[in-house]
A and B are shown apart, each in its own frame.
Chain A
Amino acid sequence: MGDPGALRIRLPRHRLDPRFILWRTLNTFFWAVGVLGVLGTCYWYFDGVRTWLEPVLWVVGAVFLANLLCMPTYRYLVHRWETTDDAVYALSGWISREWRIVPISRIQSIDTVQGPLERALRLATIKVLTASHEGAVKIEGLDRDVARAAVERLNEAARLVPGDAT
Chain B
Amino acid sequence: MSADPVHAPGPAPDPGSPVPESAVPESRDPEDTGAGPEDSDVPWQRLDIRLVWVNTAKLAASCGTGLAGFLLFPGGVLWPLLLVAAWGVVSTGRDFVRWVFTRYRVTDERVERRTGWLMREFRFVQRDRIRSVSSSAKLRHRLVALRVIHIGTGQATHVRSTFKLDALDRDASERLRRELLPDDQPDPREGETVISRIRWSWLLYNVVHIWAVLSGGLFVVSTYFSLDAVGIDLIDVLTGLYTDVRPSLWAAVGVAVGTLFVLGVGALAADFVAKHWNFELVRATGADGAGTALLTRRGLFTTHTVHRDQRRIRGVHLVEPLVWRWMRLTETKVITTGLTAGLSESADLLPRAPRDEALHVARAVFDDGRHPLEEPLVRHPPGALRRRLLWATYGPAAIAGILWWLGDTGVVATTAWRWPLYLLPVAWALAVVAYRSLGHALVGPYLVVRSGAVNRSTTVLLHGAVIGWRVHQSIFQRFGRRLSIGIPTAAGSRYYELHDAGVDQGLDFISSVNPELAAQFLTSVGEPSSTDSDATVATGSEQSVPDHSTAADDISSHR
Which residue of chain A is the closest to B511 with respect to CB atoms? A7
- A135 → chain B, closest Cβ, in Å? 3
> Which of these, A8, A15, A86, A149, contacts B546 with CB under 8 Å?
A15
Chain B residue at minimum C-beta to C-beta distance from A135: B488
Do residues B156 and A166 form an inter-chain contact, with CB atoms below 8 A? yes
List residues of A whose CB falls within 8 A of some B CB: 1-11, 13-15, 51-52, 55, 78, 80, 82-87, 89, 95-103, 106-109, 130-135, 137, 143, 145-146, 149-150, 152-153, 158, 164-166
| Chain A residue at smallest Cβ distance from B535 | A13
- Report whether B1 and A52 are in contact in the complex, using a CB–CB cutoff of 8 Å: no
Quick one: which of B534-559 are within 8 Å of A by CB?
535, 537-542, 544-549, 553-559
- In the docked arrangement, what's the CA distance between A107 and B523, Å? 24
A98 and B411 alpha carbons, distance in the complex (Å): 41
Tell whether A134 pairs with B547 under 8 Å between CB atoms, given A9-B555, A14-B538, A164-B1: no
Question: When the two chains form their complex, are residues A10 and B547 in contact, meaning their CB atoms are under 8 A apart?
Answer: no
User: Contact check: which of A8, A83, A166 meets B554 at CB < 8 Å?
Assistant: A8
Flag if B521 contacts A134 (CB, 8 Å).
Answer: no
Asked if A89 contacts B521 (CB within 8 A), the reply is yes
The residue on B at minimum CB distance from A109 is B1
Which residues of B does A touch, CB under 8 Å? 1-2, 154, 156, 337, 405-406, 409, 411, 464, 467-475, 477-478, 486, 488-491, 494-495, 504, 507-508, 511, 517-518, 520-527, 529, 531-532, 535, 537-542, 544-549, 553-559
Separation in Å of the A27 CB from the closest CB of chain B?
Answer: 22
Q: A8-B523, A97-B473, A107-B1 are in contact. Are A146 and B539 (CB under 8 A)?
A: yes
Q: Which residues from A are CB-within-8-Å of B526?
A: 3-5
Q: Is the interface of A mostly helix, strand, loop or mixed?
A: mixed
Beyond the given A83-B538, A107-B1, A132-B489, please list 8 additional residue pairs across the A-B interface where CB-CB is below 8 A: A13-B531, A13-B547, A15-B548, A89-B520, A102-B468, A108-B2, A108-B156, A135-B489
A103 and B555 form a contact (CB under 8 A): no
Interface pair A4/B525, CB less than 8 Å apart? yes
Inter-subunit contact A7/B525 (CB<8 Å): yes
Of B475, B504, B539, B544, the residue contacting A7 (CB under 8 A) is B504
B524 in complex: contacting residue of A7, A99, A100, CB < 8 Å? A7
Q: How far is the CB of A2 from chain B (nearest CB, A)?
A: 2
25 contacts between A and B (CB under 8 A): A7-B524, A8-B523, A8-B556, A10-B529, A11-B549, A11-B553, A13-B535, A14-B542, A15-B545, A82-B538, A83-B538, A86-B520, A87-B521, A95-B474, A96-B473, A97-B473, A97-B478, A108-B156, A130-B468, A131-B488, A132-B490, A132-B495, A135-B495, A165-B467, A166-B491
